[in-house]
């Protein structure tokens, strides 16, 4: 190994050695008895703030929580909702009540909070407690929105005490104000995982670092900033098709290497079993311009790529109320359409993303959802002549250009500069404002950015989650409608779709809504992202999926 590379590697790995030793103590004991222990190791470059599912708002928290907890229902690899702790369920004819029938063989992890330190059986009361905890303002959960405005409320508008009800130990009911067709998908989110009241009562806010769940792995250690260790749950309720108890792995270890090049180097050293995503820092190191793996790495690891539930876009702020210098051009649909036509999305992805991503030639709904159809929802392809014509009709030319400001973050600087060049070619001079991510988020959420780059990562696999960005009752900062788009026809279709139980008819409504978005252009859909995963060749059963879920219960390390 080159001396400089060796120093980089050692500076990354040394802080983790003490944690590795803790993990390996149990492995060493088992090795003496002749057993071979398997430890799955992955890195988390982004900050992990909590192991409490009530705060599972980002990928880091979600991935870790998924190993420790379970909910009523869960998504499979095809993003279809299936049973988990609930073995079956019923939905009332009017769509306003859900009844879940629970398994009787699910236990919380062994922990000192329980009598004799032995984990007790999960009952419907635990779900009643967990869901009421999510919506309790004292919890301050980032996931309260999954139930707010959906479950039953009282006359004052507060969530009713009877919205969540344990009928008996094995029967749990949820009541809604109105039907919400994607409600089951919402219940697959980590926010809806079950937790024991005893543990939350004992640990309080420190439950974040003392998690007690039902999942395939049991929490062992969190050395903050260095590593998290989880051990196999010997009492996990799931078995494979041959009757063998899951999980197959003996332990999971999460490291926190923040530098992407160091992360990749660690992976190449065999110290990590899996990498998710190829970011700017290492993309050119690993990939050719056409997206293929560079020859130096051919066969050394497995590469998998699937469409991602993530749409990258540029938004126009259509409500001038909070804009410091409101630009009347934003209110002109022709201008918004022109800026759409001016971008060569295919070229942009090839040159600046090594062909990771699918050009945004349809609406807001990404290809990974079944209602997506570029034929039914044709979007904007590259047409600079059309762009110039539309700008000219709106009163702008190369001699008298449109002037705008685009707000973005440093990560997207190259993309922004490319689009700046393409817009200038058709008569639009766009100044780029680079902001820190928190400031950018706050500015966009509060309607102070006239023209901004953003992305929408799906919370659950239904097109409603993307189209909700344009429902007039969802204006930011309280809701996800950051452009403050308002269209009466769109609103009617949105409300109609939430009541439509026929899948094909609902998809047709979604497509009609997306066509309105294409026509009115409150956003420029840049591209639909892709999940890219690198795994060591001895890892089996770790399949990519459009939500980029990390489920390790069926993973083997050979």
- Please provide residue 229's backbone torsions phi and psi, each rounded to the nearest 5 degrees: -125, 135
- Please give the helix or strand (H or E) that residue 557 lies within, else none: strand 556-557
Q: Tell me the two tokens of residue 273.
A: 């079993």
**CB 392, CB 426: distance < 8 Å:** no
pLDDT of residue 279: 67
Q: Tell me the two tokens of residue 387.
A: 């762009």
CATH architecture of 69-215: Alpha-Beta Complex (3.90)
pLDDT of residue 27: 47
Cβ-based neighbours of 238, under 8 Å, separated by 6 or more: 216, 245, 246, 553
Q: What is the C-alpha separation between 341 and 188, in angstroms, rounded?
A: 38
CA contacts within 13 A on the Cβ side of 92: 14
Cβ-based neighbours of 441, under 8 Å, separated by 6 or more: none
Residue for token pair 């040159």: 351
Q: What is the C-alpha separation between 120 and 447, in angstroms, rounded?
A: 49
CA contacts within 13 A on the Cβ side of 502: 5
Q: Tell me the two tokens of residue 401.
A: 């250009």
- Please provide residue 239's backbone torsions phi and psi, each rounded to the nearest 5 degrees: -130, 160
**CB 147, CB 163: distance < 8 Å:** yes
Cβ-based neighbours of 265, under 8 Å, separated by 6 or more: 5, 8, 9, 12
pLDDT of residue 2: 46
Report DSSP state, residue 294: P
Judged on CB neighbours under 10 Å (0-12, 13-18, 19+), 13 is middle
Topology agreement, domain 69-215 and domain 308-531: no
Q: Tell me the two tokens of residue 229.
A: 């260790």
Using the CB atoms, write b or e for 25-46: b if 16+ within 10 Å: ebbeeeeeeeeebbbbbbbbbe
CA 279, 558, 14 angle in degrees (round to 5)?
55
| Chain center to CA of 432 | 27
Using the CB atoms, write b or e for 162-174: b if 16+ within 10 Å: ebbbbeeebebbb
pLDDT of residue 42: 97
- The pLDDT tens digits along the chain (558 residues) read 444 444 444 444 444 444 444 444 444 444 455 577 899 999 998 889 999 999 998 899 999 999 999 999 999 988 899 999 999 999 999 999 999 999 999 999 999 999 999 999 999 999 999 999 999 999 999 999 999 989 999 988 899 999 999 999 999 999 999 999 999 999 999 999 999 999 999 999 999 999 999 999 999 999 998 999 999 999 999 999 999 999 999 999 999 998 888 898 899 999 999 998 776 656 767 777 777 777 778 788 988 888 999 999 999 999 999 998 888 999 999 999 999 999 999 999 998 888 899 999 999 999 999 999 999 999 999 999 999 999 999 999 999 999 999 999 998 999 999 999 999 999 999 999 999 988 999 999 999 999 999 999 999 999 999 999 999 999 999 889 999 999 999 999 999 998 898 999 999 999 999 999 999 999 999 999 998 899 999 999 998 899 999 999 999 999
pTM of the model: 0.87
**Closest by Cα among 3, 41, 34, 143 to 542:** 41
In three-state secondary structure terms, 245 is strand
| The CATH homologous superfamily of the domain defined by 308-531 | Dipeptide-binding Protein; Domain 3 (3.10.105.10)
How far apart, in Å, are the Cα atoms of 448 and each of 317, 467, 472, 475, 526?
8, 22, 18, 13, 22
**CB 89, CB 174: distance < 8 Å:** no
Q: Tell me the two tokens of residue 467.
A: 């189209």
Which residue stretches of 254-400 are H helix?
260-268, 280-286, 333-341, 345-352, 384-393
Q: What is the C-alpha separation between 508 and 331, in angstroms, rounded?
A: 28
Domain ranges (residues) in the chain: 69-215, 308-531
Q: Tell me the two tokens of residue 73.
A: 């229902």
pLDDT of residue 33: 54
């Amino acid at each position: 190994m080159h001396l400089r590379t060796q120093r980089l590697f050692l500076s990354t790995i040394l802080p983790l050695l003490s944690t590795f030793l803790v993990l390996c103590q149990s492995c060493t004991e088992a090795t003496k008895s002749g057993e071979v222990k398997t430890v799955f190791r992955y890195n988390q470059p982004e900050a992990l703030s909590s192991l409490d599912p009530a705060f599972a708002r980002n990928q880091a928290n979600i991935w870790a929580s998924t190993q420790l907890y379970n909910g009523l229902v869960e998504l499979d690899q095809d993003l279809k909702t299936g049973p988990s702790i609930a073995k079956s369920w019923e939905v009332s004819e009017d769509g306003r009540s859900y009844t879940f029938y629970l398994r009787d063989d699910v236990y919380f992890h062994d922990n000192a909070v329980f009598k004799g330190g032995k984990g007790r059986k999960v009952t419907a009361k635990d779900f009643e407690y967990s869901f009421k905890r999510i919506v309790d303002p004292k919890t301050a959960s980032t996931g309260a929105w999954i139930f707010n405005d959906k479950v039953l409320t009282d006359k004052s508008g507060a969530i009713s005490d009877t919205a969540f009800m344990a009928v008996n130990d094995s029967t749990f009911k949820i009541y809604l104000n109105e039907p919400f067709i994607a409600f089951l998908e919402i219940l697959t989110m980590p926010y809806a995982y079950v937790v024991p009241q005893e543990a939350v009562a004992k640990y309080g806010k420190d439950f974040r670092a003392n998690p007690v769940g039902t999942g395939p792995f049991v929490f062992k250690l969190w050395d903050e900033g260095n590593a998290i260790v989880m051990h196999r749950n010997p009492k996990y309720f799931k078995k494979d098709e041959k009757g063998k108890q899951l999980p197959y792995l003996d332990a999971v270890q999460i490291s926190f290497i923040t530098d992407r090049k160091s992360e990749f180097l660690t992976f190449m050293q065999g110290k990590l079993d899996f990498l998710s995503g190829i970011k700017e820092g290492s993309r050119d190191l690993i990939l050719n311009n056409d997206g293929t793996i560079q020859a130096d790495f051919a066969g050394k690891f497995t590469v998998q790529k699937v469409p991602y539930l993530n749409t990258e876009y540029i938004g126009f702020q259509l409500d001038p109320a909070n804009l410091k210098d409101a630009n009347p051009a934003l209110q002109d649909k022709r201008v918004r359409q022109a800026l759409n036509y001016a971008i060569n999305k295919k070229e942009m992805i090839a040159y600046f993303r090594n062909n990771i991503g699918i050009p945004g030639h349809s609406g807001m709904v990404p290809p990974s959802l079944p209602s997506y159809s570029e034929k039914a929802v044709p979007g904007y392809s590259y047409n600079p002549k059309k762009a110039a014509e539309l700008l000219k009709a709106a009163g702008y030319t190369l001699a008298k250009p449109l002037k705008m400001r685009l707000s973005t973050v440093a990560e997207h600087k190259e993309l922004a500069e490319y689009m700046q060049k393409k817009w200038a070619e058709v008569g639009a001079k766009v100044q780029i404002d680079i902001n820190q991510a928190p400031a950018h988020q706050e500015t966009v959420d509060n309607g102070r950015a006239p023209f901004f780059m953003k992305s929408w990562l799906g919370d659950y696999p239904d097109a409603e989650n993307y189209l909700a960005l344009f429902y007039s009752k969802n204006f930011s900062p309280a809701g996800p409608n950051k452009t403050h788009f308002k269209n009466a026809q769109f609103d009617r279709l949105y409300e109609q779709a939430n009541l439509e139980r026929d899948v094909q008819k609902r998809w047709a409504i979604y497509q009609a809504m997306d066509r309105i978005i294409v026509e009115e252009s409150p956003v420029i859909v840049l591209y639909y992202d892709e999940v890219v995963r690198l795994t060591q060749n001895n890892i089996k059963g770790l399949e990519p999926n459009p939500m980029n879920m990390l489920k390790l219960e069926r993973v083997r390390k050979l």
